[in-house]
Structure 1
Amino acid sequence: MSQHQWWRDAVIYQVYVRSFADANGDGVGDLAGVRQHLPYLAELGVDALWFNPWYASPQADAGYDVSDYRAIDPLFGDLSSASALIAEAHELGLKVIIDVVPNHVSDQHPWFVEAVAAGPGSPLRDRFWFRPGRGDLPPNDWQSVFGGPAWTQVADGEWYLHLFAPEQPDLNWTSPDVAAEHSDVLRFWFDRGADGVRIDSATMPAKDPSLADFDPADPPLPHPYIDRDAVHDIYRSWRAVADTYEPPRALIGEIWLDKPDRLALYLRPDEMHTAFNFDYLNCAWDPKALRHVIDATLEAHAPVDAPATWVLSNHDVTRHVTRYGRADSSYGHALRQHGTSVDLSLGARRARAALLLNLALPGSVYLYQGEELGLEEVEDIPNGLRQDPIFHRTGGRDIGRDGCRVPLPWSGDQVPFGFSPDDAAASPWLPQPATWAGRTAEAQAGDPNSMLSLYRTAIALRRQHLTTTTDPRSSSLPSPPSSSPLFEWLPTDPSLLAFTRAGSFTFLANLSDQPVHLPPHDEILLASGPLLAGLVPPDTAVWLRTGA
């Protein structure tokens, strides 16, 4: 596989900048902090970095309310520091993916400020969804994803649509200005070295122009603002921009859909290259459920020749160490389980096995910062310190996403654990648990049995045995035994997962409550936990070499 298609089997590390590393001591992570730790990321063995929005923003929703795509928010640095970061990452063989948010901008974006000032009937308002109300009521009954009405009224009486927070007015993609602006933003960052973009809320930019009421419990088809056919025109135009570069840039979609055939439409040869696999992320630690979602994923991607993606955590969901330690290990926005009983030892054991499963499957893998340290969801953040607009918009009924966004522990035995300098004037923007003293990267680096050591070893072995992309950082790694991405389930007890890859690689995970025997093999490449007299304990996975 050429480097032009690096995204087909890459390991991609998500950097949530405000929680990664704080170099200037203000309590918020920044690009200088990321640059200091680029060698750590290269040593981890990942192929690419995905950055959540780092643009100028009032930070009403952690940067997903963008006021200027061509500037870096002063919280994080400036444009020169972003350019330096991209260059330094490339020197280490790391690709860089940036976030783009096509559905909305900030209410402080110049376009929106101008539209509000221009008044009703101005063409400047055509870039958004301004409408008169129904008497004292909004134009329709749509509700915000973050809770409450999806409409806010301005002083002249008109209302504007915001499917997220009021500070995030939705763009109207029927306006030629909107399409032209986004094409220019893509070029701006591609010209500065970005290797791809992650597209936020990718199913939502196209709206039903009639803005009709609907029942969210029984929505019509097509949905008034999710997965409408018109959205594909947007991404075909973006792909045309991406393909003008050499090498072509990658498009990666955040696509929350429960219909694999609809998701596959976004991955046609003239649209996106890959999309996040939320069905897999939401799947319980259950052999039948996992087998089903793996099969459904591979079957949906095959007709459009798109690589699958495998992901367990991100900045919007409960960290999987916590999720896997619960009686119900599934996750969904409609079923948050904050505060329910959790066995973190069980969750960590399953997370180690899940890592080996992810890395053994065909396609690309996304890691969320801190999962390589085995971090759990922080659920006891005091309400007065919570930042997520979901928490505030729902009056605390939904505790929100702060628990997975707590700043990383790097070193030392007390807060801020190297996240900020020792003499920092400010505390981390979210509080770190004191129990993380043993979870720091420093503490784990020298422990061969740590979660960090498992990640480093597993990623290196994956490149050696299961990928076909040339590693630009090293010419010493042996070539993979086969370029074939073949995947085949092995007949086993239904409480196990077992498959072969590349002709000589076997994966086995024991999801039963009893130890099981290893299948025939020539060599044990890696195990997620100790094996007991040749038996694989419950919630343990192994990689085996099985022939030439």
Structure 2
Amino acid sequence: MATTEPTIPNMPALAADATVHVGSDTAREWWRDAVIYQVYPRSFADGDGDGIGDIPGITARLDHLRTLGIDAVWLSPFYRSPQKDAGYDVADYRDVDPLFGTLDDFDAMLAGAHERGMRVIVDLVPNHTSDQHVWFQQALAAAPGSAERARYIFRDGKGPGGDEPPNNWQSIFGGAAWTRVPDGQWYLHLFDSSQPDLDWNHTEVRAEFEDVLRFWLDRGVDGFRVDVAHGMVKADGLPDWHGQVSMVEGSSDEQPTDPGAPEDGSTGAGNQGPMFDQDGVHEIYRSWHQVLAAYDGDRCLVAEAWVEPLSRLARYVRPDEMHQAFNFSFLTTAWDAAALRRVIAASYQANDEVGAPTTWVLSNHDVVRHATRLGLPDPGTRPNGVFATDPQPDEELGLRRARAASLLMLGMPGSAYLYQGEELGLPEHTTLPNEVRQDPGHFRTDGAEAGRDGCRVPLPWEADAPGYGFGPTGATWLPQPDSYRRYAADAQYGVDGSTFELYRTALAARRAEGLGHGGLAWLDAWADSPDVVAFVNRDVAVVANLSSTPVALPGADVLLASGPLDEGALPADTTVWLRA
């Protein structure tokens, strides 16, 4: 395999010799350096005017994504579902929920994406089903010990009359992880009680999901993002657990990232306990890998696995398992130069050892948007949503830091995921009235947690249209804040300095310069800086100033910057790409 060391610039101020990752110029699978855009269907675009986004709405906005320059789209669940958890409670894995359209609509959207040169990844939710799934309805109608119940995790209770749950596990959404049925048995649900966990020791469960994979692969999808990829196998005997369980995977408002974090890059974001990261999950993914390998086109599996340390996460992307795993340690790292250098170096070390790309991400549908997170009074905190009564973020500061963080991420080798709206600089809706919230985590914690609704508010497409152009009637399933007018897509197209144009230009430059499959070496001048993250990737030097004051820049051609530059200096909370 031909490899390329990161280019060593001729300019002394841009000298680099601390190689972290070596790039490659050989033929490679598309997913190794792809920029992938997450579409949350109910909030992307509404085609029929009911206030909820749908698949025809996605199809109508594909040109926005082509103009942006992404390589692939990941769709959050659109399957038949009672929508108790926004579609992550699946009742039928082989059909489209009428809320979002039809299978014909899906096929048209898939064809439209492929015609525009974009691949499509769909969400798969294998840890649990909806309680309305035919299997679970059969289980409820059957007796304890039946074959129907064996597909799920039913157990007898403890104590007199079995009145106590089988163990002390807590739901990630709050409350007990067990619900009792009328005949006295209990079933496990790591999430809402409407989402019973499957028993992945059952051969029928494994065969069913391999068939589901083939159903969508036969329709032409290019891969699967696997929900709760680290939770499908539980420890033998389901032992009690006395550790902490966060309300949403990886989030915490009590454990801010510590700049003195360990060298392995851990931030405390990993889920722990006998219900997570069991060795048995890897047998499942080796089997799935074989299913995808039978199809052409380098189909891929993407792990949503809140696992730390990074060396443990890398086990999911060994050559015969999955292809990508979201780097949540990076997402949850504080706005701190030393901490970011540690997590970046640890990420490459762990993934390079198994020959896998590092998969960068800053926002998604489960976490506070990074344009808001980085504007909080303590940008290292990880709240599960923001209430109107909470300290409010500095919107201008958050956007400036978010643009700098995104340009830093897009300058690094590997794959990168963008969450819908971040290309517009969209902030979290931090003043949602509690009466409109829909996230089950809000209700299962009796309102103690704000939940994830704030990052799921419908997108603004047109500044002067009702509902900011989300759909033809102006209706939106969650209210949009007034501030969304200035973030509308049509107010940013072609506008110098807009966040959309920054992303579009960055993606074009990333592709032209081959940064996704390049190498990374720290720049000597800032190798130990408390304020700057700086590296060279091929012929591009990436310099991010995380301090509150400008830092001097060497004389070099500027390719692009996340904000205006001072002459000879890089302002606070700004990233620049220089010609090395």
TM-score band, normalised by shorter chain: over 0.9
How far apart in 2 are the matches of 1:334 and 1:382? Answer: 16
How far apart in 1 are the matches of 2:392 and 2:482? Answer: 20
Indicate the residue corresponding to 2:543 in structure 1.
508
How far apart in 1 are the matches of 2:571 and 2:383? Answer: 32
- Say yes or no: does 1:411 pair with 2:445: no
Deviation readout 1:44-69 (Å, 9 max, x if unpaired): 00000000011000000000000001
Q: 1:400 to 1:335 in 2, by over 3 A?
A: closer
- Say yes or no: does 1:444 pair with 2:492: yes
SS of aligned partner of 1:294: helix
Verify the 8 A CA contact 2:37 2:72 in the aligned structure 1: yes
Counterpart among 168, 179, 182 of residue 152 in structure 1: 179
Counterpart among 425, 448, 451 of residue 400 in structure 1: 451
Indicate the residue corresponding to 2:226 in structure 1.
199
How far apart in 2 are the matches of 1:484 and 1:204? Answer: 33
Counterpart among 401, 405, 412 of residue 361 in structure 1: 412
Verify the 8 A CA contact 1:415 1:434 in the aligned structure 2: no
SS of aligned partner of 1:107: coil
Structure 2 counterpart of 1:396, one-letter code:
G
Indicate the residue corresponding to 2:7 in structure 1.
none
Structure 1 position 214, deviation (Å): 2.1
Verify the 8 A CA contact 1:319 1:404 in the aligned structure 2: yes
TM-score normalised by structure 2 residue count: 0.88
How far apart in 2 are the matches of 1:8 and 1:408? Answer: 29
SS of aligned partner of 2:139: helix
Indicate the residue corresponding to 1:69 in structure 2.
93
Q: Which is worse superposed, 393-402 or 524-533?
A: 524-533
Counterpart among 527, 533, 556 of residue 497 in structure 1: 533
Deviation readout 1:339-373 (Å, 9 max, x if unpaired): 22421111111111111101101101110000111
Indicate the residue corresponding to 1:528 in structure 2.
562
**Match runs of 1:197-236 below 5 Å:** 197-217=224-244, 223-236=273-286
How far apart in 2 are the matches of 1:208 and 1:278? Answer: 23
Structure 2 counterpart of 1:167, one-letter code:
S
Structure 1 position 82, deviation (Å): 0.7
Verify the 8 A CA contact 1:4 1:248 in the aligned structure 2: no
Indicate the residue corresponding to 2:367 in structure 1.
317
Q: 1:38 to 1:379 in 2, by over 3 A?
A: same
Structure 1 position 533, deviation (Å): 1.8
Q: 1:496 to 1:222 in 2, by over 3 A?
A: closer
Q: 1:331 to 1:90 in 2, by over 3 A?
A: farther
SS of aligned partner of 1:144: coil
* More RCO (CA 8 Å, sep 6+): 2
How far apart in 2 are the matches of 1:224 and 1:337? Answer: 32
Q: Which is worse superposed, 459-468 or 254-263?
A: 459-468
Counterpart among 73, 87, 90 of residue 114 in structure 2: 90
Deviation readout 1:123-170 (Å, 9 max, x if unpaired): 111100111112211111111110111111112111111010010000
- Say yes or no: does 1:259 pair with 2:294: no
Structure 1 position 433, deviation (Å): 0.8
Deviation readout 1:268-288 (Å, 9 max, x if unpaired): 100011100101101111111
Verify the 8 A CA contact 1:67 1:110 in the aligned structure 2: yes
Verify the 8 A CA contact 2:386 2:431 in the aligned structure 1: no
Indicate the residue corresponding to 1:240 in structure 2.
290
**Match runs of 1:98-497 below 5 Å:** 98-134=122-158, 135-217=162-244, 223-332=273-382, 339-413=390-464, 415-421=466-472, 423=473, 427-467=475-515, 484-492=518-526, 493-497=529-533
Structure 2 counterpart of 1:436, one-letter code:
Y
Structure 1 position 486, deviation (Å): 4.3
Structure 1 position 331, deviation (Å): 4.1
How far apart in 2 are the matches of 1:176 and 1:213? Answer: 26
How far apart in 1 are the matches of 2:298 and 2:400? Answer: 39
Structure 1 counterpart of 2:564, one-letter code:
P
How far apart in 2 are the matches of 1:214 and 1:349? Answer: 41
How far apart in 1 are the matches of 2:26 and 2:38? Answer: 23
How far apart in 2 are the matches of 1:342 and 1:467? Answer: 33
SS of aligned partner of 2:148: helix
Structure 1 counterpart of 2:442, one-letter code:
F
Structure 1 position 374, deviation (Å): 0.9
TM-score normalised by structure 1 residue count: 0.93
Deviation readout 1:208-232 (Å, 9 max, x if unpaired): 23122221249xx993211011111
Aligned length: 526
Q: 1:334 to 1:66 in 2, by over 3 A?
A: closer
Structure 1 counterpart of 2:361, one-letter code:
V
Name stretches of at least 5 consecutive residues in structure 1 with no aligned partner. Answer: 469-482
Verify the 8 A CA contact 1:276 1:310 in the aligned structure 2: yes
How far apart in 1 are the matches of 2:77 and 2:176? Answer: 25
Verify the 8 A CA contact 2:37 2:74 in the aligned structure 1: yes
How far apart in 2 are the matches of 1:247 and 1:541? Answer: 35
How far apart in 1 are the matches of 2:78 and 2:465? Answer: 28
Verify the 8 A CA contact 1:489 1:498 in the aligned structure 2: yes
How far apart in 1 are the matches of 2:88 and 2:518? Answer: 39
Verify the 8 A CA contact 1:362 1:487 in the aligned structure 2: no
Q: Which is worse superposed, 137-146 or 162-171?
A: 137-146
Indicate the residue corresponding to 2:50 in structure 1.
26
Deviation readout 1:1-28 (Å, 9 max, x if unpaired): 6886111111100000000000101110
Verify the 8 A CA contact 2:384 2:449 in the aligned structure 1: no
Verify the 8 A CA contact 1:415 1:432 in the aligned structure 2: no
Q: Which is worse superposed, 26-35 or 407-416?
A: 407-416
How far apart in 2 are the matches of 1:32 and 1:253? Answer: 27
- Say yes or no: does 1:542 pair with 2:569: no
Q: Which is worse superposed, 333-342 or 320-329?
A: 333-342
SS of aligned partner of 2:317: coil
Name stretches of at least 5 consecutive residues in structure 2 with no aligned partner. Answer: 1-24, 246-270
Structure 2 counterpart of 1:246, one-letter code:
D
Q: 1:484 to 1:317 in 2, by over 3 A?
A: closer
